[in-house]
């Protein structure tokens, strides 16, 4: 009862304060605690594992070198010192074997899914690191649960937080897989992708290379998950400007970024 009352008054206080300040420095109402968020992410992971037709995950035991390559990239980002919830979230990484899908997503709690289609579409390591940083930012800035709070409203999500609506929990976890973020959230994730990569060996504006390639391919090359979000050309300019404002490196090593990345792609089926 004490926990329920605490959650209720916390949520009410956030509403009257027009948004709570979070550890990650962002505002906006979020009724999910970190523990709720981790539980929600774990539930989403379970649903993904139970649907191999839609999410054919490559087993780690069969592709250890490919996973080691991605794990090292993830660890470089997490060890940048810029990821707020580095030690709180799982940050588990999975490769989805769908060559016709240009996508990646990260659930609440840090479960990361990267499609082989996206990996093979990109040309260098920094581009993938930029996309990975972008997806990590969505989880680190807790965009999914903030969006769910806004979409479902206070009372409904209080029922979920307090364990009174298991059916809605299942519905929410299903929606998280195909969640479309707001323009504001996308812009923030682009910005923090630069911030995360800036102290690393990768080109800090790596995500811009992805959008440059999308722009070159025209409308036919735009993945569905980007269709409602800022224009790729604008995102390239904004990412490059952010890298310049932070004084980050925007150059790459051909051997490290291109040749090594091709070897990584060759590890995939």
pLDDT at residue 119 above 90? yes
pLDDT at residue 78 above 90? yes
The whole model's pTM is what? 0.86
pLDDT at residue 60 above 80? yes
The residue among 211, 206, 250 whose CA lies nearest residue 233 is 211
pLDDT at residue 19 above 70? no
DSSP string, 87-125: TTS--EEEEE--TT---EEE-TTSEEEEEHHHHHH--SH
pLDDT digits (tens, 9 = 90+) for 162-190: 667 767 767 776 777 778 888 899 999 99
pLDDT at residue 159 above 80? no
The residue among 11, 33, 1 whose CA lies nearest residue 155 is 11
pLDDT at 147: 87
pLDDT at residue 77 above 90? yes
H/E segment holding residue 81 = none
More confident residue, 80 or 41: 80
pLDDT at residue 14 above 50? no
pLDDT at residue 17 above 80? no
DSSP-H helix ranges across the chain: 2-16, 34-49, 64-78, 116-121, 125-140, 143-152, 154-161, 166-177, 183-197, 206-217, 232-245, 260-265
Yes or no: say if 188 and 238 are a contact pair by the CB < 8 Å rule.
no
pLDDT average, residue stretch 3-23: 42
Burial of 216 (0-12, 13-18, 19+ CB in 10 A): exposed
pLDDT at residue 33 above 70? yes
Yes or no: say if 35 and 162 are a contact pair by the CB < 8 Å rule.
no
Mapping DSSP to helix (H, G, I), strand (E, B) and coil, where does residue 92 land? strand
pLDDT at 181: 87
- In the chain, where are the structural domains located? 2-265
pLDDT at 113: 97
pLDDT at residue 7 above 50? no
What's the whole-number average pLDDT of the chain? 84
pLDDT digits (tens, 9 = 90+) for 210-248: 888 888 887 555 554 454 455 677 889 999 999 999 999
Instruction: Give the pLDDT band of residue 263 (cuts 50, 70, 90).
Output: very high
């Amino acid at each position: 009862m004490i926990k329920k009352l605490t959650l209720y008054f916390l949520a009410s206080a956030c509403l009257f304060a027009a948004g709570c300040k979070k550890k990650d420095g962002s505002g906006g109402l979020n009724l999910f605690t970190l523990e709720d968020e981790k539980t929600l992410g774990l539930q989403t992971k379970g649903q993904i594992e139970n649907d191999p037709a839609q999410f054919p995950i490559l087993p780690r035991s069969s592709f250890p070198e490919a996973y080691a390559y991605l794990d090292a990239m993830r660890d470089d980002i997490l060890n940048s010192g810029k990821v707020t919830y580095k030690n709180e979230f799982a940050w588990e990484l999975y490769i989805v074997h769908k060559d016709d899908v240009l996508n990646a997503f990260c659930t609440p709690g840090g479960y990361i899914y990267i499609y082989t289609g996206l990996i093979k579409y990109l040309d260098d390591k920094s581009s993938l690191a930029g996309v990975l940083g972008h997806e990590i930012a969505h989880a680190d800035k807790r965009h999914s649960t903030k969006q769910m709070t806004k979409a479902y409203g206070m009372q409904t999500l209080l029922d979920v937080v307090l364990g009174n609506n298991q059916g809605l929990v299942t519905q929410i976890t299903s929606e998280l897989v195909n969640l479309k973020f707001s323009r504001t959230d996308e812009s923030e994730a682009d910005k923090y992708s630069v911030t995360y990569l800036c102290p690393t060996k990768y080109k800090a504006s790596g995500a811009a290379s992805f959008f440059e390639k999308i722009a070159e391919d025209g409308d036919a090359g735009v993945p569905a998950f980007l269709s409602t979000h800022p224009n790729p050309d604008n995102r390239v300019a904004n990412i490059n400007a952010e890298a310049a404002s932070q004084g980050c490196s925007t150059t790459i090593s051909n051997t490290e970024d291109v040749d090594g990345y091709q070897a990584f792609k060759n590890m995939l089926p």
